[in-house]
Amino acid sequence: MSIDLNGLSAKELDSLISQAKKRKTTLKKRKPVATVRARLIAAVAAEGYTIAELFGGTAKKSAGRPAKAASARKGRKLGKVAPKYRNPGNPKETWTGRGKQPLWMAALVKKGKKPEDFLIKK
């Protein structure tokens, strides 16, 4: 985060300083994350559950969302696909033909080449 202090007036700087001090005191009052996490895990275990059961895998996910709904939004899983195109200038660069065209191919197509020129022969 970067704030351009040169463009602020004295009044704006005083306001910024007071907001920063308030935020600093709020953060100092908070307990360390590790302490809160340990207390939550202990409370969950005392009730006979695990964090994964309650929050769907990790504690970082939102407690209000079920795990099933989150996975439904991710989309369909596709399997690995063999590369279909190869960069003639750098044979290590390949493309399966799925998704956005790679920059190397887009540049060569723009110069007049055809995508069929880069097909990998089987």
| Statement to judge: residues 69 and 24 lie in one domain | yes
Domain count, the chain: 2
Banded model confidence at residue 102, pLDDT cuts 50, 70, 90: very high
pLDDT tens across 59-74, in order?
454 445 555 555 555 6
Banded model confidence at residue 20, pLDDT cuts 50, 70, 90: very high
Q: Stretch 28-44: mean pLDDT, rounded? A: 91
Q: Which domain holds residue 94?
A: 85-118
| Statement to judge: residues 48 and 69 lie in one domain | yes
What's the pTM? Answer: 0.38
Q: What percent of the chain has pLDDT over 90?
A: 54
Give 92 or 76, the one with higher predicted confidence: 92
| Statement to judge: residues 54 and 89 lie in one domain | no
Question: Residue 24's pLDDT is what?
Answer: 94
Q: Stretch 22-33: mean pLDDT, rounded? A: 92
Q: What is the DSSP track for the chain? A: ----GGG--HHHHHHHHHHHHHHHHHHHHSPPHHHHHHHHHHHHHHTT--HHHHHTS-TTS-TTS-HHHHHHHS----------EE-SS-TT-EE-S-SSPPHHHHHHHHTT--GGGGBPP-
Q: What percent of the chain has pLDDT over 70?
A: 84
Residue 2 lies in a domain: no
Residue 3 lies in a domain: no
